[in-house]
Structure 1
Amino acid sequence: MRFTFLFRIFGLIIGSLVCVGGVYAQLPGSDGTGATLPSMAPVLSRALPAVVNIAVTQTNTRAAPPLSRWGYAPYYRRAPRPTPRTNNLGSGVIIDAKQGHILTCYHVVKQADTIAVTLHDGRKLNASIIGTDTDSDIAVLKIDADNLESLPIANSDAVRVGDFVLAIGSPFGLNQSVTSGIVSALGRSGLGFDGYENFIQTDAPINPGNSGGALINLQGELIGLNSGILTPGSGNVGIGFAVPSNTAAAIAHQLTRHGEVKRTLLGLLSDDIAIEEDKHLGLESDSGAQIIAVLPGSPAARAGLRSGDIVISLNQHDIRDASDLEQSISLLNSGDRVVFNLMRSGIPTQRRLIIDRQRPHQLYGEEINALLTGTVLRQRPYLPTRSLNRSRVDVVSVAPFSAAAHFGLRPGDGIVSVNNRVINNLADIKSAATKTAAVLDLELHRGNRSLQLTLRR
Structure 2
Amino acid sequence: MEELHQGESMHTAITGIILLISLISTPIYGRNPSRTQTDTKSFSQPFIDVAKNCTPAVVFIRAEGAPPRNDPNDMFNDEFFHRFFGGPPRRQGPQVSQGSGFIISKDGYIMTNLHVVRGAKKITVTLQDGTSREVSASYIGGDSHTDIAVIKIDEEQGSNFPFIEMSNSDDLEVGEWVVAIGNPFGLEASVSAGIISAKGRQGLQITDYEDFIQTDAAINPGNSGGPLIDLDKKVVGMNTAIVSQSGGYMGIGFAIPSNILQNIKHQLVENGVVTRGFLGVSLQPIDNDLAEAFGTKTTQGALVVDVVEDSPAEKAGLQQGDIITKLNGNTIKSPGQLRNDVVLLPPGTVVKLTVNRNGKMMTIPVTLGTYGANTLVSSTTASRHLGISVDNLTNQNIQKYRLHQDDQGVIVVSIEPDSPASRSGIQPGSLVMAVNHQKVTNVTEFNDALQNVKSGQRILLLIRQGQMMKFYSLRAE
Partner of 2:166: 153
CA distance in 1, matches of 2:300, 2:214: 19
Aligned residue for 2:313, secondary structure, equals: helix
Aligned residue for 2:237, secondary structure, equals: strand
Q: Using the TM superposition, give the Cα deviation of residue 175 of structure 1 relative to its aligned residue in structure 2, in angstroms.
A: 1.2
CA contact (8 A) 2:142 2:148 kept: yes
Q: TM-score, normalised by structure 1?
A: 0.68
Bigger relative contact order, structure 1 or 2 (CA pairs below 8 A, ≥6 apart) = 1
Q: Using the TM superposition, give the Cα deviation of residue 330 of structure 1 relative to its aligned residue in structure 2, in angstroms.
A: 1.3
CA distance in 2, matches of 1:320, 1:166: 30
Partner of 1:80: 92
User: Among 134, 144, 151, which residue is 1:141 paired with?
Assistant: 151
Partner of 2:28: none
Greater share of residues in helix: 2
User: Among 328, 332, 354, which residue is 1:341 paired with?
Assistant: 354
The 5-angstrom pairing of residues 34-53 of structure 1 reads: 37-39=42-44, 40-53=47-60
The 5-angstrom pairing of residues 41-190 of structure 1 reads: 41-58=48-65, 60-65=67-72, 70=79, 77-81=89-93, 86-88=96-98, 90-97=99-106, 99-121=107-129, 122-143=132-153, 144=155, 146-190=159-203
Q: Using the TM superposition, give the Cα deviation of residue 147 of structure 1 relative to its aligned residue in structure 2, in angstroms.
A: 2.7
Query: Kindly tell me: are residues 340 and 32 of structure 1, through their superposed partners in 2, closer, same or farther at Cα, counting changes over 3 Å?
Result: closer
Query: Kindly tell me: are residues 68 and 31 of structure 1, through their superposed partners in 2, closer, same or farther at Cα, counting changes over 3 Å?
Result: farther
Query: Kindly tell me: are residues 117 and 401 of structure 1, through their superposed partners in 2, closer, same or farther at Cα, counting changes over 3 Å?
Result: closer
CA distance in 1, matches of 2:363, 2:200: 24
Count of matched residue pairs? 365
Query: Kindly tell me: are residues 220 and 272 of structure 1, through their superposed partners in 2, closer, same or farther at Cα, counting changes over 3 Å?
Result: farther
The 5-angstrom pairing of residues 223-242 of structure 1 reads: 223-242=236-255
CA contact (8 A) 2:178 2:196 kept: yes
Partner of 1:205: 218
CA distance in 1, matches of 2:238, 2:333: 21
CA contact (8 A) 1:380 1:394 kept: no
Q: Using the TM superposition, give the Cα deviation of residue 241 of structure 1 relative to its aligned residue in structure 2, in angstroms.
A: 0.7
Residue deviations 1:219-267, cap 9 Å, x none? Answer: 1211111111122342222111111111111111111110010234321
Which of 1 and 2 has greater Rg?
2
Q: Using the TM superposition, give the Cα deviation of residue 297 of structure 1 relative to its aligned residue in structure 2, in angstroms.
A: 2.7
CA distance in 1, matches of 2:392, 2:43: 48
CA RMSD, aligned part only?
4.0
Letter in 2 for 1:108: V
The 5-angstrom pairing of residues 321-340 of structure 1 reads: 321-340=334-353
Partner of 2:370: 357
CA distance in 1, matches of 2:254, 2:77: 9
CA distance in 2, matches of 1:105, 1:189: 18
User: Among 391, 398, 401, which residue is 1:379 paired with?
Assistant: 391
Aligned residue for 1:249, secondary structure, equals: helix
Query: Kindly tell me: are residues 227 and 118 of structure 1, through their superposed partners in 2, closer, same or farther at Cα, counting changes over 3 Å?
Result: same
CA distance in 1, matches of 2:312, 2:301: 20
Q: Using the TM superposition, give the Cα deviation of residue 68 of structure 1 relative to its aligned residue in structure 2, in angstroms.
A: 12
CA contact (8 A) 1:30 1:37 kept: no
CA distance in 1, matches of 2:104, 2:302: 33
CA contact (8 A) 2:214 2:254 kept: yes
Q: Using the TM superposition, give the Cα deviation of residue 337 of structure 1 relative to its aligned residue in structure 2, in angstroms.
A: 2.5
CA distance in 2, matches of 1:338, 1:63: 38
CA distance in 1, matches of 2:91, 2:260: 36
Structure 2 gap ranges (5+): 1-19, 25-33, 374-378, 395-410, 429-442, 444-464, 468-477
Query: Kindly tell me: are residues 60 and 123 of structure 1, through their superposed partners in 2, closer, same or farther at Cα, counting changes over 3 Å?
Result: same
Aligned residue for 1:31, secondary structure, equals: helix
Seq. identity, %: 36
Letter in 2 for 1:397: I
Query: Kindly tell me: are residues 45 and 314 of structure 1, through their superposed partners in 2, closer, same or farther at Cα, counting changes over 3 Å?
Result: same
CA contact (8 A) 1:229 1:239 kept: yes
